[in-house]
Structure 1
Amino acid sequence: MHNAVELIQRSLQKGLLQKAFLNATDLISKEDLQFIADGTGCSTRHRAPSCKTTPNLGRFRTASSVCNNRKNTRLGSSNTPFTRWLPAEYQDQISLPKGWDPEHRINGHLLPLVRDVSNRILQTANSDVESDPLYSHLVTIFGQWTDHDLTFTPHSPSIRSYSSGIDCDKSCENTEPCFPIDIPKKDPRFGRKSEKCIPFFRSAAACGSGNFGHTVRQQINSLTAFLDVGQVYGAEDSKACGAEDINARFSLRDLTSDKGRLRVNKQYTDNSRELLPFSSMVTNMCATRKRITNDQYAKEVPCFVAGDERSNEHGGLTSLHTLFMREHNRLVDRLADLNPHWDGERLYQEGRKIMGGYLQVLTFRDYLLHIVGPDFIARYLSTYPGYDEDVDPSISNVFATAAYRFAHLMVQPIMFRLNETYEEHPDFPSPLLHKAFFTPWRIVFEGGVDPIIRGLVGHKAKLNTQDHMMSDELRDRLFKFTSDLALDLASLNMQRGRDHGLPGYNKWRKFCGLTQPKNKKQLSKVLKNKKLAQQLLKLYKTPDNIDVWLGGVAEPFVPGGRVGPLFACLIATQFQRIRQGDRLWWENKGVFTEAQRDSLRNTSLARIICDNTGITNVPAQPFQYSTRSSYTECWDIPAFDLSPWKENIE
């Protein structure tokens, strides 16, 4: 709809509106606007679905989470706009990102190029990476895993400019939807090469926003706002595929039997254990084996398919997807033994519901404490307050686009693979990260997921320090074997924040009740680093203009955490709302029985690893780094008690 109105606007501007500064929608009748809305599907996106005919609403989630909130039925559901905790700030107050016109001043100053900021502030050679003394690399990848349950922002479906047909991959011109990242002169990576920009596509506008009736551009979250393991099951009916869905070809469920299981790979196994199914898509960005190994005879494999389309990004993420797919199938097999009268639909829904409880417990009990620290847990995330239908759980734009991208600075430059004794694998050595992107073939042909999971729990996370922020594996070699030009994740993050109209650093500090530094002395005090403050002000001139993602990751950690006070506030606020605004939260009365809640309280990530891999000993607390001498044998880790799910029939 946005694109259609843009085209009409341009047409009118060439004719009737040449001398008037009017919006195209001012001259389109309500009937025509409704016709466009109906034709593009925007009408159905805005229409609140009825929950009266949806079965089992009190017991199970819908795939898209519509009807979680019965008063506002789309609240927190997939394919709805991100919420705004502060008003958007666009260059034209409606849609154009800050930096679209490089000569346009913000707060009296020109914005620096994001690639220049990346080079001067974040650059970290692999050899300079510092490791975290407390936490394992699993903390980093689990953060990405939960992010992929909560946020995904689709970019424009077109790769060409709407007005000129310019290919965004091959042009350095700012023309919707192209917003390329300019490369500064004397760039240490590009030097005098011909490249002038890194391609960048704007995020898609939500239906009816951005230049439509003067409404401010909003972006879409294609996932649900709830911790519901959507990265395993999908966030749309067509992908999750309930029993009534006839589109089984794209289903994640195994509909060939009535056992409630998820589909698995039919061609390969991992030492007799299940692997994710392959994609049936013709285009295959995972055909990287020949390029990475320089072996023209190497066999390629398709991408894996999971509930989230990013499951192939790297081996660590793929391994977690595989682990939890197996756990679902293990659960439903045991539930079928306990309740032989349950059909496949009941088994699937009960298994999915338990998995949701798992993720909620692991995230709140084990994970968030290490990130935001005990003070913010006590303030925002301690005792469960109960469900409140007036709390909006929707994911905020600043959380998705800035705050929850903090873990990009905790990523090690190597995807570690360890053998049975937690030493470097002799047959399958650990690849550099840029050689682990989109490589499902490494799991198929190079030892499966066990060596990778051992590497996650048996190696330390990268430590984000103000001197060594982001590894060059992510800054200079991101997706090297799947893109024409390797990308820079730091630049992408800052450009995305500008694309989404995020206010600057100080606006968010004020939102969180923190001081707003106005000069070098005050910024030095906030950052506890005079040199870094000086570098930032040399680039931005004023703290007000610092990109919020950069300002957040530059702050020193809160006590016991791995983010500064700004991101601790934003992350804790978001999870507080996710929990309190979820009618089907595991602790909410009536969702699970008291006995089932007791089982869920004892959820163990270590046990899930033991139950679904060939690994025989693990840290009892896998997020905490420990030496192998303190690992626990799997037989000493209590099994998850499924007996409360046994249904007694008269």
Structure 2
Amino acid sequence: MVRSNYPNGVNSWPKASDGGELPNTREISMKIFIPKHKVEHKWNLNTQQWGQIVAHDLSLTAGPDVTKLGRPVCCDDNGRIAEDASTHPLCHHIPIPPSDDVHIPEGRECLNFIRTSSTKDINCTGLHDRAAPLSVVTSYMDLSLTYGNDEKHAKAIREGSGGRLWTTVRNGYEWPPQSGNVKKDCIGAHSTDEPCYLLGDGRGNQSPQLTTLHIILVNEHNRIADALSKLNPHWDDEKIYQEARRIAIAETQHINYYEYLPILLGKRNMVAKKLIYPDVRATKGYVNDYDPNVSAAIYKEYASAAFRHFHTMIRGQLELITEDRTLAQSVRLSDWFNRPALLEKDNGFDDLIRGLSYQEADKSDEYWDLEVTRNLFKGNRSSGSDLRAMDIQRGRDHGLGTYMQLRAHCNLPLVDRFEELKRYMSKENVKKLKKLYESVEDIDLVVGGSLENHQPGALVGPTFLCILLQQFLNIRIGDRYFYENGQDQEIAFTLPQLNSIRYGASMARLLCDNGHKITWMQRRAFELVSDKNPLLRCDELHEVNLKLWQEDAKSNDN
């Protein structure tokens, strides 16, 4: 969006406008993004958790190329500054500030941080050319987190018959196969015998509710594949797999644009920007807005700042909810990082699904849960890392433009003095910014954008809204396979198929169809249960009519 903010024009670490150091990111986290629980009164925890599904589908920063750059240790497991810290080009650990009353008493000196591999690291740019961070997943909304991002991985998770993804049966239920490297993929596991799933994305075992949604998407693919196999017994494995994949992607695109994103961005804002077309949907036609001149590539301002804002909605205590909507148990998120065994304990999988739809999310604000600012990936240690500090540090790593530079890019009013920021955020936060930063020109985009007063109907302020609207517009119109596009009839859904997806695809139906014994769900499954959004029997919810994909075997032969 804006030119990279590297002082040397290539990839050097950002500096303050006066040439000095920017404030410590751990200190920013402690002083501004303090722990205070203010929960949503309308949106449930799935509003936060599904966002991680969307985020992981679109981007994943590349780690070091170990064949060329090694695997640096910048800050060791004990929080001590390691030898690599001062010598390895990818090391940029976060020093623990003296005011840190959590880590200083433990003797920790730093939080580990490894820079993203860039075009410079793999010799894709010249010696003096500006580096760009690399992503290792597709930028399209194509469920790459379910199907994998390369041919080898995609084949490894397929069953090889009936178009299905690979599953194994335990205790009467299907689960994704066990990972071949539990110590790497599930470092929180207490033993290698615990469940640790081989999924389309290496981050899939990161937290219990993320893993739950991954498995729901695997189950949805197989549910569709099984139906298509019965409807079209003459189809081979590849045909069934590709068509089931296409339908599952279309369902999630529909959920994202017409059900999920309006919560974050505001329906009116999306209509005005032409991200959604309620009128065309009502007339049951195609939306032919594909533009071959638009790139669907991911803006680093989106991936490293704007969408990361919604980490604020994470809850540190996860509620597992029974079918009659009572609390089965409550668990600490930090006890289950990279340890998905909770899903197969008793009714854990279904209870987590219901918890997603029944527990309130934290509010979209500047307050963060200690489970992710003090105990992130803590394992058996007394404390862990800090997600907010990491977000800010990653923004600097990627050379993001400053808060003021992005406001300028979005044609928003600029300010010269901290006091003028009170027009756009609370007085208290302006005071905190003034104590931390020397100049308004230095405020990190990750920080300033998160503190803005929200736009009407949205869960973000104007700067992040500008970035997010443009990003999701590009993802839509830069993808000729986007589900509502009918310009190329060889790849488009028929209108009856498209309208069945519009009518029947929903988050509620996705949860109902792919739990083990889920029989009740509210129609608007990102919204808390209420008198206006009551629980319904799953069979009362609309569904996609897969019979519309039935093909005459004889006509196909001709």
| Fold agreement, TM-score > 0.5 | yes
Closer, same or farther: CA 160–415 of 1 in aligned 2, 3 Å: farther
CA distance in 2, matches of 1:151, 1:489: 17
Alpha-carbon contact 1:234-1:307 (below 8 Å) kept: yes
Match of 1:516 among 404, 409, 414: 414
Match of 1:644 among 548, 553, 557: 548
Q: Which moved more, 1:272-281 or 1:349-358?
A: 272-281
Q: Which moved more, 1:378-387 or 1:446-455?
A: 378-387
2:13 is aligned with 1:112: no
2:207 is aligned with 1:314: yes
Task: For residues 162-185 of structure 1, give each alpha carbon's deviation from its aligned partner in whole angstroms, at most 9, with x where no partner exists.
Answer: 79x875535353431111001111
Deviation at 1:265, TM superposition (A): 2.8
2:56 is aligned with 1:148: yes
Match of 1:330 among 223, 245, 252: 223
Task: For residues 322-374 of structure 1, give each alpha carbon's deviation from its aligned partner in whole angstroms, at most 9, with x where no partner exists.
Answer: 11101110101100111110000000000000011011100000011100113
Partner of 1:35 in structure 2? none
Closer, same or farther: CA 166–605 of 1 in aligned 2, 3 Å: closer
Closer, same or farther: CA 490–273 of 1 in aligned 2, 3 Å: same
Alpha-carbon contact 1:198-1:485 (below 8 Å) kept: no
Partner of 1:247 in structure 2? none
Deviation at 1:436, TM superposition (A): 2.2
Partner of 1:382 in structure 2? 276
CA distance in 2, matches of 1:285, 1:476: 22
Task: For residues 354-406 of structure 1, give each alpha carbon's deviation from its aligned partner in whole angstroms, at most 9, with x where no partner exists.
Answer: 01101110000001110011342122213345111110110111111111112
Deviation at 1:300, TM superposition (A): 4.0
Match of 1:253 among 152, 158, 161: 158
Partner of 2:131 in structure 1? 217
Deviation at 1:490, TM superposition (A): 0.6
Alpha-carbon contact 2:176-2:199 (below 8 Å) kept: yes
Alpha-carbon contact 2:521-2:538 (below 8 Å) kept: yes
Match of 1:626 among 495, 509, 529: 529
Partner of 1:615 in structure 2? 518
Partner of 1:570 in structure 2? 467
Q: Which moved more, 1:540-549 or 1:201-210?
A: 201-210
Q: Percent identity of the aligned residues?
A: 30
Superposition map of 1:419-434 within 5 A: 419-425=322-328, 429-434=329-334
CA distance in 2, matches of 1:328, 1:557: 37
Q: Give the residue type in structure 2 aligned to 1:91.
A: P
CA distance in 2, matches of 1:345, 1:617: 34
Match of 1:277 among 159, 177, 184: 177
Superposition map of 1:478-557 within 5 A: 478-481=376-379, 486-527=384-425, 529-557=426-454
1:214 is paired with a residue whose SS is coil
Deviation at 1:484, TM superposition (A): 9.6
Partner of 2:282 in structure 1? none
Q: Give the residue type in structure 1 aligned to 2:12.
A: L
CA distance in 1, matches of 2:168, 2:37: 37
Deviation at 1:287, TM superposition (A): 5.3
Deviation at 1:302, TM superposition (A): 4.8
2:41 is paired with a residue whose SS is strand
Instruction: Give ranges in structure 1 of 5+ residues lacking alignment.
Output: 1-84, 100-104, 242-250, 291-297
CA distance in 2, matches of 1:115, 1:369: 32
Partner of 1:398 in structure 2? 301
CA distance in 1, matches of 2:440, 2:353: 41
Match of 2:496 among 579, 595, 617: 595
Q: Which structure is larger by alpha-carbon Rg, 1 or 2?
A: 1
Partner of 1:87 in structure 2? 3
CA distance in 1, matches of 2:136, 2:251: 23
1:221 is paired with a residue whose SS is coil
CA distance in 1, matches of 2:211, 2:105: 37
Partner of 1:197 in structure 2? 110
Deviation beyond 6 Å, 4+ runs, structure 1: 159-163, 482-485
Task: For residues 251-286 of structure 1, give each alpha carbon's deviation from its aligned partner in whole angstroms, at most 9, with x where no partner exists.
Answer: 11012xx211001135x24xx231121111263452
TM, length-normalised to structure 1: 0.78
Closer, same or farther: CA 372–558 of 1 in aligned 2, 3 Å: same
Closer, same or farther: CA 168–548 of 1 in aligned 2, 3 Å: same
Alpha-carbon contact 1:183-1:196 (below 8 Å) kept: yes
Partner of 1:29 in structure 2? none
Superposition map of 1:404-423 within 5 A: 404-423=307-326
CA distance in 2, matches of 1:204, 1:168: 18
1:415 is paired with a residue whose SS is strand
Alpha-carbon contact 2:62-2:116 (below 8 Å) kept: yes
Deviation at 1:633, TM superposition (A): 0.9
Partner of 2:284 in structure 1? none
Deviation at 1:158, TM superposition (A): 4.3
Q: Which moved more, 1:554-563 or 1:189-198?
A: 189-198
Partner of 2:365 in structure 1? 465
Closer, same or farther: CA 114–181 of 1 in aligned 2, 3 Å: same
Task: For residues 25-83 of structure 1, give each alpha carbon's deviation from its aligned partner in whole angstroms, at most 9, with x where no partner exists.
Answer: xxxxxxxxxxxxxxxxxxxxxxxxxxxxxxxxxxxxxxxxxxxxxxxxxxxxxxxxxxx
Task: For residues 450-500 of structure 1, give each alpha carbon's deviation from its aligned partner in whole angstroms, at most 9, with x where no partner exists.
Answer: 00010010111100334xx11111000000117896110011001111111
2:81 is aligned with 1:188: no
Partner of 1:455 in structure 2? 355
Task: For residues 578-618 of structure 1, give each alpha carbon's deviation from its aligned partner in whole angstroms, at most 9, with x where no partner exists.
Answer: 10010111111121111110111111221222112211111
TM, length-normalised to structure 2: 0.90
Deviation at 1:301, TM superposition (A): 1.5
Deviation at 1:288, TM superposition (A): 3.3
Q: Give the residue type in structure 2 aligned to 1:505.
A: Y
Alpha-carbon contact 2:183-2:189 (below 8 Å) kept: no
Alpha-carbon contact 2:163-2:225 (below 8 Å) kept: yes
CA distance in 2, matches of 1:193, 1:564: 37
Q: Give the residue type in structure 2 aligned to 1:640.
A: V
Closer, same or farther: CA 264–117 of 1 in aligned 2, 3 Å: same
Deviation at 1:107, TM superposition (A): 4.3
Deviation at 1:503, TM superposition (A): 1.1
Partner of 1:135 in structure 2? 43
Closer, same or farther: CA 339–161 of 1 in aligned 2, 3 Å: closer
Alpha-carbon contact 2:95-2:109 (below 8 Å) kept: yes
2:174 is paired with a residue whose SS is coil
Deviation at 1:541, TM superposition (A): 2.1
CA distance in 2, matches of 1:157, 1:487: 24
Would you say how many aligned residue pairs link Structure 1 and Structure 2?
A: 530
Partner of 1:234 in structure 2? 148
Alpha-carbon contact 1:415-1:455 (below 8 Å) kept: yes
1:195 is paired with a residue whose SS is coil
Alpha-carbon contact 2:74-2:114 (below 8 Å) kept: no
Q: Which moved more, 1:90-99 or 1:152-161?
A: 152-161
Alpha-carbon contact 2:188-2:336 (below 8 Å) kept: no
CA distance in 2, matches of 1:220, 1:409: 25
